[in-house]
Chain A
Amino acid sequence: MRGDMVLRVIVKLLIPFILLFALYVQFHGDFGPGGGFQAGTIFAAALALYTMIFGLENMRRIVPDRLVEAMIAAGVLLFLGVGIAGLLLGGNFLDYFVLDRDPVAGQHRGIFWVELGVAITVFGVMLKLFCLFAARNLGQE
């Protein structure tokens, strides 16, 4: 499949749009449908598509295994961090009102970081699962 010119060109054209759509879903989640979970999945799907056409080695060069594994944990930690930030600023755990002087802006800030945490973890897990299957199919690991 790697020699197929049509696939390579089409995928190269498509991937930027998929990534852009993932970012749109992530940051427009406040206004339209979407959010961290969906965005993380779409982002991982874009990289999975890249892997299918250009191979696992090239994908690993873009996103190293260690980074993906770190992201799995980093997302949860970011979420927890937002919760603890609320505690430190004098509110309850996961209380966003205290994150800014203006409570509504605080909510915005809290939700933004929380959604980012969800997206990072979901992206990491989805991509890692795909990589594990792909590596095993190739007989690596």
Chain B
Amino acid sequence: MFTKNRKAGLYTGGQPSLRGTLIKIAILGLIDAGLVFVIMLLVAKHAWTMVVVLSIIGLAVNFIYLRQGGLPAKYLAPGVILLLIFQIYVVLFSGYISTTNYGSLHNGSYEEALDAIKQSAYAPIEGSIDYELKVAEAKDKSLLFIATDFESGKTFVGGSNYSKYPFREVTAADGLVKDSYGAVTGLKGATILTDDQITDRSVEVTSTKVPMGPNIEVDGFLSTTDAFTAQHYSYQYIFNEKDQTIKRISDGVIFVADGSRGFFSNPEDGEILSEVGWKVNIGLRNFTRIFNDEQLRGPLIGIVIWTFLFAFLTVISTFILGLGLALLLNDSRIKGLKILRAFLILPYAFPAFLSAYVWKGMFATENGFINRSILGLDNSQGIHWLTETGPARAAVLLVNLWLGFPYMFLISTGALQAIPSDLSEAAGIDGAGPWKIFRLIKLPLLLVSLAPLLIASFAYNFNNFTIIYLVTGGGPILDPTLKITAGGTDILITFVYRIAFGGAGGADYGLASAFSILIFAIIGSISFFSFRRTKALEEVTA
């Protein structure tokens, strides 16, 4: 029995108790019931992908927990499932998006884009008259437009179905009744709708197109936006169903669907018909664009340099201040150390997003606490902390120093106390001064234990979105004429955020995802290599 267990591994110890088994079955039962319920809902909504995903998860969970053995899976399953959906999938999805042109201009399928273009394919004819409109209803409840041209006094009637209710002029002979002002009050075969009825059918009214001739594409149509006046609309483009092309009526240019760009474009000169496009796969073009696009490269170089500088300066400044404080207060003669320490780590304990807001308020040019109360400047000579690149950079660094030095203070104190005191005592006996002891003995030892944390801090600040975003928003914007705007304090991640979620050029998720993958690669490899180096360092000195 014992040998059998040993073979199976360390953790197949005793027999499972009845109570434990019952609890397990009960929890599994609850999970299964919930899953089955949700899957049934999903089947009813025909969400087959989700049905498959959830079924696989459900079967896997039951398999893992019901079988004997396979212990690691039992402990890993919940974490792995969540990690797969919300981390791995997110990374992979970003990878996929980075090879598409997905964005606010390309956010759907070809059919959706075509629908949108068709919707905007017509416009009111310039200089055409406004008709006085009465919305009426025929016997079959379909809508009729009774439109009066006040200049000529002529009145027309028509419905959206041209063959049944053709657009034609009507006179008193057709049963048209007008009041003394010339407004239509009745027409034979039609019931004029009251305001309330129009309100009830407002969507139908505003979406109705009344053809003004047998060929709606040539003759145009009447349409209304307010139910009191109607305008003559004409088509600017005509869609050809058979060969999926679009003809621009004004000059007869034919646009074809360009599958490599996701636009309708003129094959001769590349002109695009409309900004509205659809999502297509564009391979690595987002990545080549990062390196080749002139509009992007200029600001990007500055942003990359500033990102490294920001992360580096933050780590260095917080570390120097924190270590200095730790050295200063690492002294048994100082009384009330606990209280001093509690005050010193307040910035770290105060929630960072609140600190960001508070500093933003204090940095205000006009009436800001820093300009007025600390520097004693009035509003006219105040420093533009948040609206000029230089001061704004100083401001975010100052904020980050304030936020970060207590952490460095705490970890340096811990590391200092871990250094055996006989080392520095021995050095002191050999005649080394305090500075020499610090530089030659304490600092190297400190760096061995703190290097991984300093690297982690660098990696964290490299992507310190919250502080930049909440204090300056990445601003001030350097060149507002660029399609993708860059700000003076933008670090890579805030720049990417602006590309993805707005800015002058609209959202470009594809480009943003390509950036994300690159940032991930940069930060991943920096961490990987430096951790390996520090590990080597540790082994050498140990």
Partners in one complex: no
B residues whose Cβ falls under 8 Å from a Cβ of A: none
